[in-house]
A and B are shown apart, each in its own frame.
Chain A
Amino acid sequence: AQSVAQPEDQVNVAEGNPLTVKCTYSVSGNPYLFWYVQYPNRGLQFLLKYITGDNLVKGSYGFEAEFNKSQTSFHLKKPSALVSDSALYFCAFPNRKLIWGLGTSLAVNP
């Protein structure tokens, strides 16, 4: 079955350090992949997506993600984490509806 996986339930990083939130996929063909962020008690906000073209995708709030076909990964990255980046992050791919990973809780410590 096609799916995405987020192997880490929680990621902790110090403010100012680089952060990575991992996502791997099992999707046939050329996948479209998305990252969304959810702040406490709020809806989901679109961060970025990979459709085709450059493997490095830049998105909102200084986030970027690298599509790696050989490793079937689409990890979310940011060079310097902010406390305000603390939230729940979801990787997803579309198959009419969105198929979601289980989410990774990011905690950025001051």
Chain B
Amino acid sequence: DTGVSQDPRHKITKRGQNVTFRCDPISEHNRLYWYRQTLGQGPEFLTYFQNEAQLEKSRLLSDRFSAERPKGSFSTLEIQRTEQGDSAMYLCASSLSRKWTSGRAGETQYFGPGTRLLVL
């Protein structure tokens, strides 16, 4: 399978614990995105990378959240001191941008299956 993969698919944790999610994008894709989705809602943008550079972070991404893409391939999203409000589906997407753009681009984002987090 050459699509976007995410691990784990499900995570249950206790409030206050740290969790880390991994995303493996489609191999030739240089952009990688993280979104969060709560039940019945649309995705909310968290952050995105162009290669290894983190180019934008949402205000939703509090100090407890950190994302990395150290070699421009896979990415990790860590949540420290989890709270019940962090319970959501965390989605990763990747795309191929053929030029360095500062504005809109029409490349398609392909999504992974998501990691569902439940904080007890």
Name A residues whose Cβ lies closer than 8 Å to a Cβ of B. Answer: 32, 34, 36, 41-46, 49, 51, 88, 90, 93-103
B113–A43 CB distance below 8 A: yes
A34 to B55, CA, bound (A): 22
Once the chains bind, are A45 and B108 in contact (CB under 8 Å)? no
With a cutoff of 8 Å between Cβ atoms, the chain B residues found around residue A42 in the complex are 113-114
Give the residues from 23 to 46 in chain B that come closer than 8 angstroms, CB to CB, to chain A: 33, 35, 40-43, 45
Of the candidate stretches B11-19, B66-74, B76-84, B99-107, the one touching chain A is B99-107
Residue of B nearest to A31 (CB): B104
Known A43-B91, A43-B114: A94·B105 in contact at CB below 8 Å: yes
Determine the chain A residues whose CB is within 8 A of the CB of B55 once the complex forms. 96
The SS class assigned to the B binding surface is loop
- A100 to B35 alpha-carbon distance, docked (Å): 11
Main secondary structure of the interface of A (DSSP, over half): strand
- With A90-B42, A103-B42 in contact, do A97 and B106 touch (Cβ < 8 Å)? no
Q: What chain A residues lie within 8 Å of B21 (beta carbons)?
A: none
Q: Return the contact of A32 from the options B43, B102, B104 (Cβ within 8 A).
A: B104
Question: When A and B form their complex, which 7 residue pairs have the shortest distance between CB atoms, in order from nearest?
Answer: A100-B42, A32-B106, A97-B45, A44-B111, A43-B111, A43-B113, A51-B106
Closest to B10 in A: A41
- Known contacts A43-B112, A43-B114, A44-B91: does B43 contact A98 (CB below 8 Å)? yes
B51 within 8 A of A: no
